[in-house]
């Protein structure tokens, strides 16, 4: 079974992270399947808007730490993994079609970053987001080192990264990081309603709007992605990286 599914509803492409047994944690197969699904949606002339969501009780729980040993076994495997993570940000942010996130449960680490890469976000009232990377000795990706300070300011962004505290849907709404907060069972429906309204707009105007908005970002964001990749590759290769991941996993299990 694919780790990501693509379902068309008229002009809307619903892209669903589909590893509910792992809370849609980010592994190699999911990264490849997500890229393929997004590309298929972009190549489909009938698709006007993409809705990104997750199956089960979470949107995305971040990196699948069970795959860390395989991901970090060589320079080639580390670079491949980080490159595929950053490729998703390119897919989401620089495509010609708007992306509406329908985000529920947990959006952690890379899942939080992908949420921030969406153009519009509908959040469930039980949504919890945080960045755990600093706690387990890794680094953020998804271009958020540029995007987040621009959105909420330097000091608040640093607080989110350095402390890794859990943020509620209402807090995220007050920060301007999500657009709507709705009951859990209304998340996808609301996202589809917004996407359908967008799909009624001029395709040319919408695509040019997204291109124009992201054109100013392209150079700065590309540089941020490059720097994030370099630091994350370095962090993966540290001699104590596996021990830090194991310690972090043990702490999560005991909580």
* Catalytic machinery residues: 113, 133
Q: What token pair was written down for 110?
A: 């890379």
CA distance 36 to 231: 26
Q: Where would I find the H helices in 126-186?
A: 144-152, 154-163, 169-175
CA distance 199 to 212: 18
Q: What token pair was written down for 202?
A: 């001029």
CA distance 124 to 127: 5
CA distance 235 to 241: 7
182, 102 contact by CB (below 8 A): no
55, 18 contact by CB (below 8 A): yes
Tell me, rounded to whole angstroms, the distance of Cα 133 from its chain centroid.
Answer: 14
- Which 3 state secondary structure label does DSSP give 231? helix
DSSP notation for 29-68: HHHHHHHHHHHHHHH-TT--EEEEEESTT-SB--B-GGGH
């Amino acid at each position: 079974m694919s780790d990501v599914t693509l379902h068309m509803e008229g002009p809307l492409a619903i892209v669903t992270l589909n590893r509910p047994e792992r809370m849609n944690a980010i592994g190699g197969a999911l990264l490849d399947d997500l890229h393929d699904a997004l590309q298929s949606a972009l190549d489909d002339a009938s698709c006007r808007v993409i809705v990104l969501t997750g199956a089960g009780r979470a949107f995305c729980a971040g990196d699948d730490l069970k795959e860390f040993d395989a991901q970090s076994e060589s320079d080639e495997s580390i670079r491949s993994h980080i490159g595929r993570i950053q490729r998703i940000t390119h897919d989401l942010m620089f495509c010609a079609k708007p992306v509406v996130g329908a985000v529920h449960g947990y959006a952690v680490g890379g899942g939080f970053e992908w949420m921030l890469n969406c153009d519009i976000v509908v959040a469930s009232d039980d949504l919890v987001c945080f960045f755990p990377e600093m706690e387990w000795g890794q680094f953020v990706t998804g271009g958020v080192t540029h995007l987040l300070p621009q959105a909420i300011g330097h000091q608040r962004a640093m607080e989110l990264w350095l402390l890794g505290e859990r943020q509620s849907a209402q807090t995220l709404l007050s920060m301007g990081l999500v657009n709507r907060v709705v009951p859990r069972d209304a998340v996808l429906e609301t996202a589809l309603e917004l996407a359908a309204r967008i799909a009624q707009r001029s395709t040319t105007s919408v695509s040019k709007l997204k291109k124009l908005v992201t054109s100013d970002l392209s150079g700065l964001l590309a540089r941020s992605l490059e720097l994030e990749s370099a630091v994350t590759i370095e962090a993966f290769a540290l001699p104590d990286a596996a021990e830090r991941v194991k310690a972090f996993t043990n702490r999560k299990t005991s909580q």
